Amino acid sequence: MNPRSVLDDVLAAAPQAIDGAGSLEDLDRVESALLGKSSTIGDVRRSMGGLDSEERPRVGIRLKEVTEQIHTLLAARRSVLEVEDEARRLSDDSIDVTLESYGFPRGSLHLIQQTIDEIVDIFVGLGYLVADGPEAELGWYNFDALNTPPTHPARLESDTMYLDYGDPSDELLLRTQTSPVQVRWMEEHEPPVYVVVPGKVYRQETTDATHLPVFHQIEGLAVDDSIRFSDLKGTLAHFSRQFFGPRTEVRLRPHFFPFTEPSAELDVSCFNCEGGVPGCRVCGGAGWLEMLGCGMVDPNVLEAVGYDPEQLSGFAFGMGVERMAMVRHGINDIRHLVNNDLRFLRQF
Ligand code: DAH
């Protein structure tokens, strides 16, 4: 058959093959079938040498035309397929934000953290700063600088957990109270001081309904040039009314702490019965709830941090976070707070 009519047949059949390619990969295969080495056009190209000198240029011209037209058809189909391909990839990737998702249950802060936040917020509202300190503490900060002599029973291994680490004379221990942060803060800052310190404390303690070996305290410290006992009482009364309700009364009972003089315990009037209803489930009929320890900072503590007790005075207090939460919510066993039973935790 005449090579030119062979080429015409190829060109006539090309559009159907090209438009039939459903993907870019198909189109590549169609392209090599039409134009590649083993295609009909390839055969014609190879046979050129055997044509006579008259026919050869004609076939050559037709070969070029046919090849160009096939390229044009391929390019047109390729651009259609590329647009389709892009659209498909975009739709495969797209996110339908209206689709329902898996229900991830929403968590909430643990009651202990909620209680810390609430108490700290009340003092921040009075202008206090928030401080923290190490849980592994030196004997100096936990005891000595807080006017607690080496013979004090709290220092016994039966009460305090000592760490077998470093120089034994450092008495590295797990802090039994947040009070050492009073000392650390005053060492690093000039007066006036108004800070609260939430944190974990550790004691050698047998777990029962009111004791855990690890619990939380919030320490408070105010040191300024004219702080009086009435400032302590007024501050704690304000705090108690914010936390337990506006009708709350407070009273201070004499007590002893090594780092305060005088020292006291703060009682708040029972927010449930408001004063001694027999058998009240919150206060048991006493009418008062024991809340925290406090007092005027002992001059020895001020001296230990290099403050002048002749110029400065202050008050301090320390409360147990778990106890605050238990009283407030009528929780009768401290272990509920650490058992991680969701039926308990979800109530708050
Ligand atoms: N640190 C004391 C304790 O753990 C609580 C306390 C009492 C802290 C009186 C104070 C304070 O700052 O003035 O029992």
42: exposed, middle or buried (Cβ count in 10 Å: 0-12, 13-18, 19+)? middle
Say how many C-beta atoms besides its own lie within 10 A of residue 95's C-beta: 6
Tokens of 148: 């607690």
pLDDT digit string (tens) for 121-170?
A: 999 999 999 999 999 999 999 999 999 999 998 888 889 999 999 999 99
| Lowest-pLDDT choice from 24-38, 88-102, 315-329 | 88-102
95 confidence band (pLDDT: 50, 70, 90)? confident
Residue 239 Cα to ligand 1 midpoint, Å, equals 16
30: exposed, middle or buried (Cβ count in 10 Å: 0-12, 13-18, 19+)? buried
Which protein residue's CA is at the shortest distance from atom 3 of ligand 1?
177
Ligand 1 binding pocket, CB closer than 6 Å = 177, 179, 219, 257, 260, 293-295, 316-318
Residue 264 Cα to ligand 1 midpoint, Å, equals 10
271 confidence band (pLDDT: 50, 70, 90)? confident
Contact 109, 345 (CB under 8 A): no
For residue 240, which phi and psi values (nearest 5 degrees)? -60, -35
Which protein residue's CA is at the shortest distance from atom 2 of ligand 1?
318
105 confidence band (pLDDT: 50, 70, 90)? confident
Residue 319 Cα to ligand 1 midpoint, Å, equals 7
Residue 50 Cα to ligand 1 midpoint, Å, equals 111
pLDDT at 100 exceeding the cut of 90: no
pLDDT digit string (tens) for 326-340?
A: 999 989 999 999 999
For residue 112, which phi and psi values (nearest 5 degrees)? -65, -45
pLDDT on residue 238:
98
Residue 324 Cα to ligand 1 midpoint, Å, equals 15
pLDDT at 281 exceeding the cut of 90: no
Q: Which of 176, 179, 185 has the most ligand 1 atoms within 8 A of CB, as the residue to mutate?
A: 179
3-state secondary structure of 32: helix
Q: Which of 142, 317, 319 has the most ligand 1 atoms within 8 A of CB, as the residue to mutate?
A: 317
For residue 53, which phi and psi values (nearest 5 degrees)? -70, -20
pLDDT digit string (tens) for 168-189?
A: 999 999 999 999 999 999 999 9
Strand partners, 224: 313
pTM given for the model: 0.72
248 confidence band (pLDDT: 50, 70, 90)? very high
